[in-house]
Copies of this chain bind each other. A is one copy, B any other.
Amino acid sequence: MTPPYYAVIFTSRHSTDTAGYTEMAEAMETLAARQPGYLGMDHARSEIGITISYWKDLNAIRDWKSNLAHTEAQKLGKSHWYDSYTVRVCKVEREYAFQRDTNSI
């Protein structure tokens, strides 16, 4: 991905009520990937969960936030799955990567 583009950082702590969460998370990832301006997603979970979605611009983020199925998922997140979460909307200004040269091993 070539900057500038946008990232939404979602950090969360789960409640003990996680019934239905995994299925919904998978459904939302599939749905997000169909949104105009979607660029990708990274996810990891240890003590906290971190999901980062990447988007072309702020309009794409707004459209995804107000997507009907996503809105329903957000309600269930608040009523059941999360004790707390933080959402950060960020402009990615610079990006660089390292890839091991497997030929040299």
Contact surface of A with B, Cβ cutoff 8 Å: 3, 7, 9, 11, 15, 42-50, 52, 78, 82-100
Contact = CB atoms under 8 A, between A and B. Distances in A.
Contacts of A11: 42, 52
For the complex formed by this chain, how many copies does it contain in all? Answer: 2
A27 B93 CA distance: 28
A92 B89 contact: yes
Given A44-B45, A44-B47, A100 B82 contact: yes
A32 to B, nearest CB: 17
A52 to B, nearest CB: 6
A45 B45 CA distance: 6
Contacts of A9: 7, 9, 52, 92
